[in-house]
Copies of this chain bind each other. A is one copy, B any other.
């Protein structure tokens, strides 16, 4: 009975997830479509069946995350965003940058349960990866920011994160840096005073939209059956058949919806109410954003509280809490093998460290 209930819920969520995020499935170009058709012709029947199923649930990563309607991610905006992403002057101490917790050298995370912010203070939630994050339907574990731009404004002012006292102090500091005056003007040529908090966040978001990590799974989705090993294909089969794709689907293999953590069985940590803590609505109790599974082997520890360090353990808990399944170890192992094929690589441009423009005599000093 539990299983039936879960299936119904997931049937709904599949539709919801896909309907919610139509922009996640970029249309194929004519040449892509014909390549896929050529590949499909040479596939084994088994591969073709799996590929067809997978195509209905996922989509390969485009080269870049599309900018929201009305915005353009110009090279100047992306370059500025990269500087800001790496600039510790966005923090009161001058020691914490976006990259401190979303380290591009380690899959866009800090591999800590919770991050260490100003004065080594901690929050209660794990820093999610910034890689492919622009595909998410909303940002933060409780979905409180509608997009990357809104997200980028948060940590800078959070007292346990970067701890800047207010937007005006951030803008004053940035505006005192001659190089930023030049780069903001290039990135936002239309305004009189381009150095604004909004533009800072927009530039960071534009850079983050370049953080796309194509993997072997994308090659498979594009029709290259041999891109996955037989073991990985078996894992994908299990991943689909068990119902994991009810939530973890779309271009980011997750990130497309909110879901209760503990549908069938409660999750061990009941302290964090998720979206409920924000809305106080009963239906939001323990509701969190479904995380993307791309690069999941590298974004440990897992869950909103970063409490689980082993991917096998996380898969086991997911099966129990969300699907009411007691999977045997070989099934869990098989799913983990498939998930490892979701590890991708950043575009080479994104991996190049920027050169931060030097402060001026007017730039406010770091403090603790």
Q: Which residues does A use to contact B, with CB under 8 Å?
A: 86-89, 93-95, 100, 103-106, 110-112, 115-116, 118-120, 297-298, 300, 309-310, 345, 348, 351-356, 358-359, 361, 365-366, 368
A105-B86, A354-B105 as given contacts; A112 in contact with B366, CB under 8 Å:
yes
Q: State whether A356 touches B106 (Cβ < 8 A).
A: yes
Given contacts A105-B355, A352-B352, contact A116 B95 (CB under 8 A): yes
Q: Is the CB of B88 within 8 A of A120?
A: no
Main secondary structure, interface of A, reads loop
Chain B residues with Cβ under 8 A from A365's Cβ?
309
- Complex contacts, A115 vs chain B, CB 8 Å: 95
Give the chain B neighbours of A353 by CB distance below 8 A: 104-105, 351-353
Nearest-neighbor residue (CB-CB) of A366 within chain B: B112
**Complex Cα–Cα for A345 and B89 (A):** 21
Judge whether A356 and B105 touch: CB under 8 Å: yes
By Cβ-Cβ distance, the 10 closest A-B pairs, closest first, are: A106-B356, A351-B353, A95-B116, A105-B353, A86-B105, A119-B120, A105-B356, A298-B358, A351-B352, A112-B366
**A160 vs chain B, min Cβ distance (A):** 12
Q: How far is the CB of A307 from chain B (nearest CB, A)?
A: 12
Give Cα A129 to B56, complex, Å. Answer: 53
Partner of A116, one of B93, B105, B359: B93
The complex places the Cα of A104 from the Cα of B118 at a distance, in Å, of: 22
Contact A368–B120 (Cβ < 8 Å): yes
Give CA–CA (A359, B297) in the complex, Å.
Answer: 10
Bound complex: CA A352 to CA B352 (Å): 4
Nearest CB in chain B to that of A122: its residue: B368
B119-A95 in contact (CB<8A):
no
Beta-carbon contact of A309 and B105 below 8 Å: no
**Which of B94, B110, B309, B351 contacts A110 (CB under 8 A)?**
B94
Q: Using known A-B contacts A105-B355, A309-B365, determine if residue A94 contacts B120 with beta carbons closer than 8 Å.
A: no
Assess whether A95 is in contact with B100, with CB atoms less than 8 Å apart: yes
If the complex has contacts A297-B358, A300-B359, A309-B361, are A93 and B120 also in contact, measured as CB distance less than 8 A?
A: yes
Q: List 18 A-B contacts (CB under 8 A).
A: A88-B103, A88-B110, A93-B112, A93-B116, A94-B110, A95-B110, A95-B116, A105-B353, A105-B354, A106-B355, A106-B356, A106-B358, A118-B120, A120-B368, A297-B358, A310-B361, A352-B353, A353-B353
CB-CB under 8 A from A120, the residues of chain B are: 93, 118-120, 368
A112/B86 in contact, CB under 8 A: no
Min Cβ gap A298→B in Å is 5
Q: Hey, which chain B residues are within 8 Å of A104, CB to CB?
A: 353
